[in-house]
Amino acid sequence: MARNRKRIKVLVVDDSAVVRKVFREELSAEEDIEVVGTAPDPFVARDKIVKLKPDVITLDIEMPRMDGLTFLKKLMKYYPMPVIVVSSLTEKGGKLALEALSLGALEVISKPSSAYSVGEMSIQLIDKIRAVAGCKVPARAQVEPGDRVKKGLFSRSLAKTTNKVIAIGASTGGTEALKVVLKAMPPNAPGILVVQHMPARFTTSFAQRLNELSAVSVKEAEDGDSLVNGVALVAPGNYHMLLKRSGARYCVQVKKGPMVHHQRPSVDVLFHSVAAYAGSNAAGVLLTGMGSDGADGLLKMRESGARTVAQDEKSCIVFGMPKEAIRLGAAEKVAPLEDIARVTLSLIAES
């Protein structure tokens, strides 16, 4: 890496002195990252943001004096910028992390139970800092749970979609993108499989929230679950999800296995299985995210006769995964986020 390249300025906000110390040491060891400051609470962080003008903030959301969510709301209103949330691996931590993502945070990483093992987070944190640095953080409209799609939307185009499958993959920025896509799906949509790069235990709360917002039923996948019209299955964190077929019935296999593209669940693992078992009865969608996970799998889907869609650059938070898919010729269509559901449903209805 060139020495004169501008370094990414990071502010660490965490009430644990150990976490602040470890993050400073680990992140500052990277040539392209500089920890310009740390803060034990949002009040100190507020002053340091104005003074130091960081490119990225890492934010603990369970802190004294002012909780991280309240701080995040104010930050996104007056000084929107890339935020990576550091959250505990608890049911409460998972729900708070999802709320933070809905408020504008771009990524979430899991906080170990012991502060002294926090150094293990460094590799994934470094990757996420590089991914979100320079991202233009969009204004976020708050979505109310009762704001559902109208019943019967797209029903005509869905008349021919019996036994069809829609597979969707996403990473950075995907939690909000998936809300947009699933909200636009009608209650009789083809069965949907979702892989979102997300830590273990957070996907349960994520699926529950999507279920509240969508006309389709959304749940975290369990091994052996059937895939039927009107149901979306979300891969659980730290497990791969694959499509299988038993006679005329589609079902999913949820299992451990090696990480693919440093991810588990991996979009490529899902897409390759959909190509093998659904072929021309499927549609694949690749949304915003860093890296290249899903690009090769989307190509395999297209080669198997499936219809394929990638999110366009303008509407992506990070144009990594879709960009690689487009480069490979894997995407039959490239569409803005708000058109993804319509385009996908139209394509699969033609198959």
Nearest in space to 214 (alpha carbons), one of 203, 234, 190, 230: 230
Edge-to-edge strand ranges of the sheet holding 165-170: 217-220, 231-234, 191-196, 165-170, 282-286, 307-311, 333-335
**Amino acid identity of 170?**
A
Alpha carbon distance 283, 279 (integer Å):
9
Backbone angles phi, psi at 86, to 5 degrees: -110, 115
Catalytic sites, residue numbers:
171, 197, 293
Residue 81 Cα distances to 55, 56, 328, angstroms = 7, 7, 32
Q: How many CB atoms are located within 10 Å of the residue 247 CB?
A: 5
C-alpha of 4 from chain center:
32
